Structure 1
Amino acid sequence: MKTTNNTIFISGGSAGIGLAIAKKLNALGNKIIINGRNKERLENALLELDDAIAMQGDLALEEDRIRIANELKNNHPDVNIIINNAGAAFSYLLNETTNAHEKAIIEMNTNYFAIIHFTELLLPHLIQKKEAAIINISSIAVYGSHKLVPTYGASKAALHSYTTALRQTYENQKNIQVYEVYPPLVNTDFSAEIGGAQGIPASEVADELVIGLENNLFDIPVGQTKIYAKAIGEAISKLTQN
């Protein structure tokens, strides 16, 4: 996948991993369109990017997904890469709450259902491009849950399952590629309440994404996640040899 001269939409692009990816791809000569819910954060993010565009909205809401998808298709028809990065996570203990189901609904909607719908809205546009990509920002949580984020991992595991099926669906259509990025704990405001200060810098995720794109590595583990990916890869290799 080429990493220059693309028009790239990044949800959750006003801070954290999304902004780090925006800055990295912007520096490589791509047109960047960032999305976020907070107008002030979007405006501040634009100050760190060259000739970027901001689209305010909450992709967890159906009406915003439809509006933003239409705006992209009508006003920015060159968009050929979407990065589904916006996410939701709650840190709590199951024995200290009575509304885990409510938190899980929000996480599942933002991290899974919303991404399916937004991707569905843009797929007819993307498959017309000479070269296009869908990039889903997943998580090390795909490999297992943790008591501090008890329902978040399930939403990312669901996203992983969908991403794999989407890639398989379009594997013979060479003009569209489907990537999944698996960050571990990252030092962002998003992860602050679960010890994010001990995590890797968001720039490392952006660097690994670019390496993955350049080499057509559709599964892109980052940092500690590489340990899990390697172990699973070795286990699958042994099974196929038997």
Structure 2
Amino acid sequence: MKTTGNTIFISGGSAGIGLAFAKKLSAAGNTIIINGRSEERLQKALKELDNASAIQGDLSIVADRIRIAKELTEQYPETNIVINNAGAAFMNDLSDDVNNAAEKAFQEMNTNYLSVIDFTRLVLPNLLQQKEAAIINVSSIAVFRGNKYLPTYAASKAALHSYTQGLRDTFEENSNLNIFEIYPPLVNTEFSAEIGGANGIPPSEVADELLLGLGQNQFDILVGESKTFSDKL
């Protein structure tokens, strides 16, 4: 699909991978709307972007989700790309009987999976009115294999992956709506600091791959080490 002249909403767009997406897509000639929980961080991010605005709110909260979707469709009805990037991840030791593994898993599943389903439902009617539209779900290399450090995070991203495939199948006969999924490996961001993110790739590399994948209609966009799992798609 086209990579310029779009109006793009990016959840979790005030830092990390989301901000890298915003910078790359803004530089390519798109209008950007970033979302995040912190108004201060959003305003800081806007200073690094051209042709961008922000909608503050927490998409993991139902009331915020409804408000954000309403504001987006009413103030930016030309929005034709939604990037579901906001996420939650916790180190979750399943062998520790004091650790509340289920509570951490609930937060991850709510943010990484259930909230994406509901927000997509809320914005789909507007997207379907566009001549060319896309939903881009940011999953993870963890889709392909969980590990002992992030077992429940991996499970939430695997759920998102399965949902994305189902969404793609649902709209496969609608040539105006494209469903993308991008699979970052470990990325060096504040979000991943607790799990050794300093050893990861720069977020700009993920953004580069996204722009390339969009232009080539590559609906499954593997990044870095994730490319070794291409046979599992």
TM-score, normalised with respect to structure 2: 0.98
2-side partners of 1:20 and 1:206: how far apart? 6
Partner of 1:165: 166
What is the SS of the residue equivalent to 1:50? coil
Deviation at 1:150, TM superposition (A): 1.7
Correspondence 1:33-72 to 2 at 5 A: 33-72=33-72
Task: Give the residue type in structure 1 aligned to 2:69.
Answer: A
Superposed CA deviations along residues 158-191 of structure 1, whole A, max 9, x for unmatched, are 0000000100111110000000000000000000
Task: Give the residue type in structure 1 aligned to 2:89.
Answer: A
Rg larger in 1 or in 2? 1
Task: Give the residue type in structure 1 aligned to 2:10.
Answer: I
2-side partners of 1:150 and 1:170: how far apart? 31
Correspondence 1:228-239 to 2 at 5 A: 228-229=229-230, 231-232=231-232
User: Within the alignment, does 1:138 sit opposite 2:139 as a pair?
Assistant: yes
User: Within the alignment, does 1:94 sit opposite 2:58 as a pair?
Assistant: no
Correspondence 1:71-220 to 2 at 5 A: 71-96=71-96, 97-220=98-221
2-side partners of 1:93 and 1:143: how far apart? 20
Partner of 1:20: 20
**Misfit runs of 4+, over 6 Å:** none
Q: Percent identity?
A: 65
Task: Give the residue type in structure 2 aligned to 1:162.
Answer: Y
2-side partners of 1:123 and 1:146: how far apart? 34
Task: State the superposition RMSD in angstroms.
Answer: 0.8
What is the SS of the residue equivalent to 1:189? coil
1-side partners of 2:215 and 2:5: how far apart? 13
Partner of 1:238: none
Task: Give the residue type in structure 2 aligned to 1:173.
Answer: N
User: Is 2:92–2:104's contact at 8 Å kept on the other side of the alignment?
Assistant: no
Deviation at 1:40, TM superposition (A): 1.2
Superposed CA deviations along residues 82-118 of structure 1, whole A, max 9, x for unmatched, are 0000000001322234310000000000000000000
1-side partners of 2:92 and 2:123: how far apart? 35
Superposed CA deviations along residues 58-94 of structure 1, whole A, max 9, x for unmatched, are 0000101100100011111110100000000001322
What is the SS of the residue equivalent to 1:151? helix
Deviation at 1:146, TM superposition (A): 1.1
Task: Give the residue type in structure 1 aligned to 2:111.
Answer: T
User: Is 2:134–2:180's contact at 8 Å kept on the other side of the alignment?
Assistant: yes
Partner of 1:240: none
Task: Give the residue type in structure 2 aligned to 1:6.
Answer: N
2-side partners of 1:123 and 1:21: how far apart? 21
2-side partners of 1:155 and 1:232: how far apart? 18
Deviation at 1:133, TM superposition (A): 0.2
Superposed CA deviations along residues 120-157 of structure 1, whole A, max 9, x for unmatched, are 00111101100000000000000011111121000000
2-side partners of 1:11 and 1:160: how far apart? 17
Task: Give the residue type in structure 1 aligned to 2:14.
Answer: S
